[in-house]
Amino acid sequence: MVVLIVIIGIIGSVAAPRFLDMGEFSSPQAHRQALSDLRFAQRLATGSGCPVQVDFDPSGYRFRQRTDCRSGPFDRDLVDPLTGRAPFTIVLPGGAGATSDVDPLVFDALGRATSVTGIVTDARIEVGGLPLEAIGETGLVRVP
């Protein structure tokens, strides 16, 4: 009986950290959140008629609009729809980063994905090691 308890204890000490580590769940959750947030930004740009810029960095991403709407720098922070406060900045959980081959990515007033210079372009985005893409002409954000 004692040997059996010792064996179960050894197995438990090796297996417990694996089952208690939530890090494996943070990347897919961050990926789903980024998909939802980017779709929100695209809809906001179309609905308001004012472009929305998404800045990516290794720790997360941030949404901004132009103060003048049509021209000038993207210097007005968006209001986070969940908290009701600005800035709309997402800090990803440890280990999950955000990168894009088009950085910053801008959704124009027609909802298209563009570079900051206004050139319509497809964007490949990675959040927590998982891919997303924004289709230039439609602005559709999807999992490839």
The set of residues, in sequence order, having a beta carbon less than 8 Å from that of 39 and lying 6+ positions away, is 141
Q: Among positive and negative, which fits the CA dihedral 86, 81, 95, 19?
A: positive
pTM: 0.76
Q: Give the pLDDT confidence of 2-45 residue by residue, as tens digits.
A: 888 888 888 877 666 655 444 444 567 778 888 888 999 999 99
Alpha carbon distances (Å) from 144 to 9, 29, 38, 53? 44, 17, 15, 22
Q: Are 124 and 100 a contacting pair, CB within 8 Å?
A: yes
Q: Which residue has the tokens 């998982």?
A: 130
pLDDT-based confidence at 110, cuts 50/70/90? Answer: very high
Domains of the chain are 29-142 (3.55.40.10)
pLDDT, tens digit (0-9, with 9 covering 90-100), for 57-84: 888 889 999 988 888 899 899 888 888 8
